[in-house]
């Protein structure tokens, strides 16, 4: 074990094509990261909930072995199929979840509207 980290933060970024997982310590230093692509999935299979679950399991196992994490705060960003599956995988991994936050950016006014139609 490299160093003991009590509370870690997990950032999950889900898009329509991939799921990225990053585990950081309290000061924001990256400890472990992974993705559906790094877990061995290619093409359209990267965007499935199963790929997200597999990626989260690999990342959590590595973080537990190397850093001994026990409690996590979870920050989820983006749309995508891997959101709920990633949460379930973290819960099943046996780490205590102290907080879950959705940090998906939401536009306040959106894009510029189409120009007025002239007939």
In a domain, 59, yes or no: yes
Number of domains, the chain: 1
Model's pTM, two decimal places? 0.86
Residue 66 has a pLDDT of: 87
> How far is the C-alpha of 3 from the C-alpha of 40, rounded, in Å?
28
In a domain, 69, yes or no: yes
Domain encompassing residue 61 = 7-102
Closest CA to 14 of 84, 92, 88, 117: 84
Residue 68 has a pLDDT of: 86
Residue 78 has a pLDDT of: 92
**Which is it for the CA torsion 84, 90, 96, 100, positive or negative?**
negative
Identify whether the C-beta of residue 8 lies closer than 8 Å to the C-beta of residue 31. Answer: yes
Residue 119 has a pLDDT of: 86
In a domain, 92, yes or no: yes
Q: Supply the CATH number for residue 88's domain.
A: 3.30.420.80
Q: What is the pLDDT along the chain (119 residues), one digit of tens a residue?
A: 567 877 899 999 999 999 999 999 988 899 999 999 999 999 999 989 999 999 999 999 999 888 888 889 999 999 988 889 999 999 998 889 999 999 999 989 888 999 999 98
> How far is the C-alpha of 116 from the C-alpha of 30, rounded, in Å?
49
């Amino acid at each position: 074990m490299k160093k003991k980290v009590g509370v870690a933060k997990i950032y999950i970024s889900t898009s329509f094509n991939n799921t990225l997982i990053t585990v950081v310590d309290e000061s924001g230093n990256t400890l472990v990261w992974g993705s559906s692509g790094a877990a061995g999935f290619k093409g359209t299979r990267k965007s499935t909930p199963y790929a997200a679950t597999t990626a989260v399991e690999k990342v959590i196992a590595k973080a537990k072995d190397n850093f001994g994490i026990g409690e996590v705060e979870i920050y989820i960003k983006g749309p995508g199929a891997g959101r709920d599956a990633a949460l379930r995988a973290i819960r099943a991994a046996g780490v205590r979840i102290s907080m879950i936050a959705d940090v998906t950016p939401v536009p306040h006014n959106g894009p510029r509207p189409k120009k007025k139609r002239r007939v």
